[in-house]
Amino acid sequence: MTRVSTRTRQDAARLALGAMLVLAGASHLTVARREFRAQVPPWIPMDTDDVVLLSGAAEIALGAALAGLPKERRRVGGLAAAFFTAIFPGNISQYRNRVDGFGLDTDTKRAARLAGQPLLVAWALYAGGLVPRR
């Protein structure tokens, strides 16, 4: 059996995360714009739609950089992890304020979404090669 190297797995994770971010970012700007507004906390001192558009642009940029700049994978992986951490208060706000969006129409579903955020941070760190190799 052929063993797949950690670097190969990290490259696959980097490309998959890059694609996911580009698609999610594009949906911020188009078909899911209204849904993403549900995740913007009411205490953000900006227009909700502007926050959605800016975060969508950031996701597209991060995704494109993850996929297209492999030599910068550590830096971009760290930025993606920081981005996922920075938007976590929006997920908390959605849960605490019981705001529906993306089918998250119960506390259980919103709590599950909260639990998934650390997995995105871990994915970004792994994809960027920032998790120590075994």
Please determine, for residue 31, whether its predicted confidence score (pLDDT) is greater than 60. Answer: yes
Average pLDDT over every residue of 33-62: 93
- Per-residue confidence (pLDDT) for residue 56, from 0 to 100: 96
Kind and range of the H or E run holding 69: none
In the chain, which ranges are E strands? none
Tell if the pTM clears 0.85, that is, is over it.
yes
Mean pLDDT of the chain: 91
- Confidence label for 3 from pLDDT (cuts 50, 70 and 90): low
Closest C-alpha among 120, 116, 119 to residue 62: 120
